[in-house]
Amino acid sequence: MSNYFDDNDTYSSIIISEEILLPDYLPDDLIHRNKELQSIADSIKPIIKKRTPDNLFIHGPSGSGKTCCIKHILKQLSSYSTAILPVYVNCWENQTQMAIYNRIIEEMRLPLPRRGLATDEIFSKICEYAKNYKKPILLVLDELDGLRHMELLYVVARANEKMLMFGIIGISNNKELLSKLDTRIRSSLRFSEMEFKHYSEEELISILKLRAEKALTKTSFDERLLAKIARSAEDGSARIAISLLWKSAKHAEKAGRAKIMLQDLEDILSEQPSYKDEFNLSAEELLILELLKNGKLQSSDIYDAFIKKIPKTKRQIRNYLDLLEKKGIIESEKFEADGILRPKVFRLK
């Protein structure tokens, strides 16, 4: 009997740098977003000079480059100045005040007592650090709608009134989120707004070409394929377009071809679950839906299959599952047998 792991695959070598096609990859150059990058940098400049921060709320559709631009600016900031402490937090992965405070403490590299501290005690430690070292904190809250309690923003706003200097950049797909904040928070933090628009088809083609030239063999793709992918990406999402390129390349490799054909893309598109535009699903959420399209799965099976595609922690994956449940796309239930509570089982709703 043959072993299923024997190296008898017929895969061709099309993908030479797979990480360039994965969601967490940060390119050195971001095209078509120069205006947005400059605006973000301009909002940070006052806090570098110890002036009142220009807090910023960034909104726009999924895949429009919001997170990439922020991470690009933070990378440049770190090499330019050590005058402030930048802290990036994804609020779907860190949903509570305590989790976010712990992220700030990690960046400060402050030791905490073994007994643990209450939320207000930790925040006092953070304020003490900022005051003693005269180092303002730039707190970037990505996927701000994932934050369970907006009291965090109020606490930070109160700290600013004491001249402790917190700069806040909030990011969300939901442009209405800012208007739903408590009036006290909005008036204290005085957010400026920035909107990221969809990428045009021509912009997507040029983004795909840059990625393909670095990630794939030279003869494995052509302009016609990239144009078809750009037209197929919902809402002008670069994230979805790059994911389609990656999946099409893997499909062609599995078929033993050295070039990606239009049929590879068609096959991938036919397998994609279809959902309403307003969901603005991320690549991580789409992967979960792809895993569930053939039936229900236990949480442990989802974790195992997910991390083979996108490296994330179990907590991060669990947060994506929670988000899909809140959107009403999937549902879960727990099974109890012989008095033992079994893991959750998820399925498409």
pLDDT tens string 132-184: 888 899 999 999 988 887 888 888 887 876 666 789 999 998 888 888 888 88
pLDDT at position 172 is 92
Q: Is 170 or 293 the better-scoring residue by pLDDT?
A: 170
Q: Which CATH architecture has domain 277-348?
A: Orthogonal Bundle (1.10)
Task: Give Dmax over CA atoms of the chain in angstroms.
Answer: 73
**Average pLDDT for 59-84:** 93
Residue 198's identity, in one-letter code, is H
Q: Which CATH architecture has domain 18-23+200-271?
A: Orthogonal Bundle (1.10)
- Distance CA(74)–CA(29), nearest Å, equals 14
pLDDT at position 315 is 84
Name the segment(s) of the chain with CATH classification 1.10.8.60.
18-23+200-271
Please answer whether residues 332 and 346 qualify as being in contact, where contact means their C-beta atoms are separated by less than 8 angstroms. yes
Confidence of residue 241 (pLDDT cuts 50, 70, 90): very high
Name the segment(s) of the chain with CATH classification 3.40.50.300.
34-195
Q: Which one, of 209, 212, 290, 216, lies nearest residue 253 by Cα?
A: 216
State how far the alpha carbon of 90 is from the alpha carbons of 70, 100, 227, 264, 332, in Å.
12, 9, 32, 34, 24
pLDDT at position 161 is 67
Confidence of residue 338 (pLDDT cuts 50, 70, 90): very low
Q: Which one, of 4, 18, 10, lies nearest residue 246 by Cα?
A: 18
Domain 34-195 in CATH 3.40.50.300? The answer is yes
**Average pLDDT for 242-267:** 94
Q: Is 336 or 92 the better-scoring residue by pLDDT?
A: 92
Confidence of residue 274 (pLDDT cuts 50, 70, 90): low
Least confident interval from 75-79, 134-138, 226-230, 328-332? 328-332
Most confident of 247-256, 274-283, 297-306: 247-256
pLDDT at position 277 is 47
Confidence of residue 311 (pLDDT cuts 50, 70, 90): confident
Most confident of 47-51, 168-172, 323-327: 168-172
Is the pTM of the predicted complex or chain greater than 0.75?
Answer: yes
Confidence of residue 185 (pLDDT cuts 50, 70, 90): confident
State how far the alpha carbon of 207 is from the alpha carbons of 63, 173, 283, 316, 344, in Å.
12, 21, 17, 27, 39
Least confident interval from 122-131, 137-146, 215-224, 276-285? 276-285
**Average pLDDT for 56-85:** 93
pLDDT at position 9 is 57
**Average pLDDT for 185-202:** 91
pLDDT at position 113 is 73
pLDDT at position 49 is 85
Name the segment(s) of the chain with CATH classification 1.10.10.10.
277-348
